[in-house]
Structure 1
Amino acid sequence: MESLSQSLISRLKDYFNAEKMGLVLGEILIETLIAVSILSVFYLFWRIIKWIVGRRLEERFDKTSAAFAEAVIKFTIFAIAIISALGAAGVKTDALLGSLGVLGLTLGFALRDTLSNIVSGILIFLDRPFTINDLVEIDGKYGRIDRITLRTTRVVTNDGKMLAVPNAEIMNKTVTSYTNFPHLRIDVGVTIAVTESIDLARKLLLKLVKDDPDFMQQPLPVVVVTELNDYNVVLELEAWLQDERRHIEKRCEIREKIFRTFTKEGIDMPYETIRIVPRNECVSLADDGKNSMT
């Protein structure tokens, strides 16, 4: 029993030998420093590539294509950097890459939503329903496309909020683009009383956009009647903008101009109301009695 314990102590002393542990720790430290150095070199290499290639990509392609190409280059460089760093740190990358097949299958089930977003990001790039800086409305959310990544599309709203919309959601929803085509038509509704002249209202509305250089005259702006109600008539001014990016600003501006013009010209713009007329029930009953006697 005593010899067994001495043998065990001897093995522990041999295993925890200060000299051997120093050599092992020294090797680990050196390999770690080499791995960190490799990662740093690749990161510096990426920054240089981004500075050189980024400008040329933007010159030769649109911003959307340039951003997509930049993302592919970035992931490729960092994938090589990680594999090189692991190899320098003593990790057998051949065995690691072989085991990634089984691991990738497991992760595929666990990260199916993320992979779906990545595939959707590639399809968005190929299909081009919108590009960077487009004004869009996605599922009721309006804003400017700031960036398209492989996982999400970044939308900046009018009040400065950043929305990260998963690409898979975008592929399954209706996307409205306000800047995909050179011009945009804005429709502004206005109500006038049934006693007012539709021709006069139409003349005033058309004059507002005719005198404004921000509106196109070809196609011609028109004013149409969209509703005939009991107390009012709903008109709609339809006019095309020179700069589609100003559609919110111009829509608010033209509404204010309509109100001022109609007020100045004395055109009534009512809303539907219910008029309550008081009735003298005593008089009504007396009249009914007389009628019945006769």
Structure 2
Amino acid sequence: MDELSTRLMARLHEAFSVDELSKTAIDGLINLSAALAVFGAFYLLWRLLRAALNSAFQRSGADATTVSFMQTLLKYGVLAIGLISALDSAGIQTGAVIASLGIAGLTIGFAAKDALSNLISGILIFIDRPFVIGDLVEVDGQYGRVERITLRSTRIITRDGKMLAVPNTEVINQTVASYTNFPHLRIDIAVTVGVEESLERVRGLLLGLVHESKEFMTEPAPRVVVTALNDYNLALELQVWIFNEREHVELRFALRERIFETLREAGVDMPYETLQLLAPTPSATTEH
């Protein structure tokens, strides 16, 4: 036991000696500096490649969606290689790390399945192009402008200035309404008038509004249709195509206000839906 204790103390003294600790600290500092230098070089390489890629895309006239997607792939690709190279420079065997990740791959796969789904969905969005950056879209009832498409989420800026980060899997699995995929858009304004009103007169007033304005198209021609025959009013709808689909919200608000003012000035009856309450009829017989 005394010999064993002596040998143990000698090994501990050797391991924790000032010289050994100094050597370990210096080696660690050198490895860390080398790793930081390698990663910094790859980071600088990414910045240079991004600038060159932006210049090439500007000359080629590529759209903003393609530029954003390629920048994202370039960034993560170069930095991932830089991280692996930095770990190698620090003396960490990346092969063993990757092998250990392979052993635990099933667990990591379950933990990261949502992230992987969003990644794949982001690639599918880029390939399928249901919308591009700058489009006005409606996803799950949320309306706004597409600000950015990343590998994890689609960023939408709403009309009141909020930024929505919608996971790409939700975008892929839901119906997406785009207001700017085609050059023109039709807006529909609902109107109700009294049952005694002349439809031709009201139709003329409504069509006169859009014929006088350059924001609305004459082909396809605007029209007024009857959508419902109610008890106390007629439900009409003014359907008109606009030149600039990005102005559909503002034009809808303005046209609805102009319709109200025009019909009111023309004396058109726009009744509210009413209910008539009748008092109960007295019973012919009286109970005693």
Which bin holds the TM-score, normalised by the shorter protein?
Answer: over 0.9
Q: Secondary structure at the match of 2:221?
A: coil
* Alignment correspondent of 2:162: 161
Give the equivalent residue in structure 2 for 1:52.
52
- After superposition, residues 173-192 of structure 1 pair within 5 angstroms as 173-192=174-193
Deviation at 1:22, TM superposition (A): 0.6
What displacement does 1:52 show? 2.5
SS of residue in 2 equivalent to 1:171: helix
For residue 195 of structure 1, give the secondary structure of its aligned residue in structure 2.
Answer: coil
Cα deviation, residue 279, structure 1: 8.4
Q: 1:81 to 1:217 in 2, by over 3 A?
A: same
1:196 aligns with 2:203: no
Q: Which amino acid aligns with 1:214?
A: E
Answer with 102-111 or 206-215: which moved more. 102-111
Q: Distance in 2 between matches of 1:268 and 1:86?
A: 79
More deviation in 98-107 or 46-55? 98-107
What is the aligned partner in structure 1 of residue 40 from structure 2? 40
* Per-residue CA distance 1:38-92 (angstroms, 9 max, x = gap): 1122212212222231242254211111111111111110011001100100012
* Per-residue CA distance 1:103-142 (angstroms, 9 max, x = gap): 4343112211111111111111111111111111111111
Preserved contact between residue 58 and residue 66 of structure 1 (Cα < 8 Å): no
Note the C-alpha offset of 1:96.
Answer: 2.9
Instruction: Kindly report which structure 2 residues correspond to 1:88-237, keeping only aligned pairs within 5 A, or say none.
Output: 88-237=89-238
Secondary structure of residue in 2 paired with 1:214: coil
Corresponding position: 1:8 with 2:8: yes
Shift of 1:8: 2.2
Work out the CA distance in 2 between the residues paired with 1:170 and 1:163: 12
Worse-superposed segment, 45-54 or 143-152: 45-54
Q: Which has the larger radius of gyration?
A: 1
Q: Could you tell me whether the CA contact under 8 Å between 1:224 and 1:236 is conserved in 2?
A: yes
The 2-side partners of 1:3 and 1:157 are apart by 77
SS, match of residue 271 in structure 1: coil
- Cα–Cα, structure 1 residues 58 and 146, in superposed 2: closer, same or farther, change >3 Å? farther
Identical counterparts, % of pairs? 49
Distance in 2, matches of 1:277 and 1:6, equals 110
Displacement of 1:29: 0.6
Residue segments in structure 1 that go unaligned for 5+ positions in a row: 289-294
Query: How large is the RMSD of aligned CA atoms in angstroms?
Result: 1.8
Decide which moves more: 146-155 or 107-116: 107-116
- Which ranges of structure 2 fall in alignment gaps of 5 or more residues? none
Distance 2:119 2:113 in 1: 10
TM-score, length basis structure 1: 0.91
Greater Cα shift, 104-113 or 184-193:
104-113
Asked if the contact 1:182/1:244 (under 8 Å) is kept, the reply is yes
Q: How many residues align?
A: 284
Shift of 1:3: 3.6
Provide the TM-score with structure 2 as the length reference.
0.93
Runs of 4 or more, structure 1, over 6 Å off, are none
